[in-house]
């Protein structure tokens, strides 16, 4: 059953703590993405990666970090430098040459 897995579905952290969100895909897609979604707003791109061991900043990369050590995995770390981290985080992937991004189910992060 191919798809994108994000875990956990809900995550609670105390202010000042770093937290890592997991994203795994078994679609054999080359490109992967992280978006942030806030109520009443569209999706905003945090980071993306077109190939293993390479990634680029999106529109709102400050306070976030990523790694791409394996093709199927693209974890996102929300650092303590992110001023307003409470949001719904979405991971997506795209096959090379394709124009559709496929989304995972999302992780809702709440920082207390």
Partner 1 sequence: QQQVKQSPQSLIVQKGGISIINCAYENTAFDYFPWYQQFPGKGPALLIAIRPDVSEKKEGRFTISFNKSAKQFSLHIMDSQPGDSATYFCAATLKTSYDKVIFGPGTSLSVIP
Residues near partner 1 (CB under 8 A): 4, 6, 31, 33, 40-45, 48, 50, 56, 90, 92, 94, 98-106, 108
Cβ-based nearer residue to partner 1, 2 or 42: 42
Task: Spell out the SS3 assignment of 2-50.
Answer: CCEEEECCEEEECCCCCEEEEEEECCCCCEEEEEEECCCCCEEEEEEEE
User: From CA 21, how far away is CA 88, in angstroms rounded?
Assistant: 11
Please state the closest distance from residue 108 (CB atom) to partner 1, in A: 8
Please state the closest distance from residue 106 (CB atom) to partner 1, in A: 5
Q: Look at residue 19 and give its three-state secondary structure.
A: strand
Please state the closest distance from residue 63 (CB atom) to partner 1, in A: 20
Cβ-based nearer residue to partner 1, 27 or 79: 27
């Amino acid at each position: 059953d191919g798809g994108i897995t994000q875990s956990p579905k809900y995550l609670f952290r105390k202010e000042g703590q770093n937290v890592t969100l997991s994203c795994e895909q078994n679609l054999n897609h080359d490109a992967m993405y992280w978006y942030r979604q806030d109520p009443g707003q569209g999706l905003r791109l945090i980071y993306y990666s077109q190939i293993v061991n390479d990634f680029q900043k999106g529109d709102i990369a400050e306070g976030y970090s990523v790694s791409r050590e394996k093709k199927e995995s693209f974890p996102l770390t929300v650092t303590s430098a992110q001023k307003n981290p409470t949001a719904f985080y979405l991971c997506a992937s795209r096959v090379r040459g394709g124009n559709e991004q496929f989304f995972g189910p999302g992780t809702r992060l709440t920082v207390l």
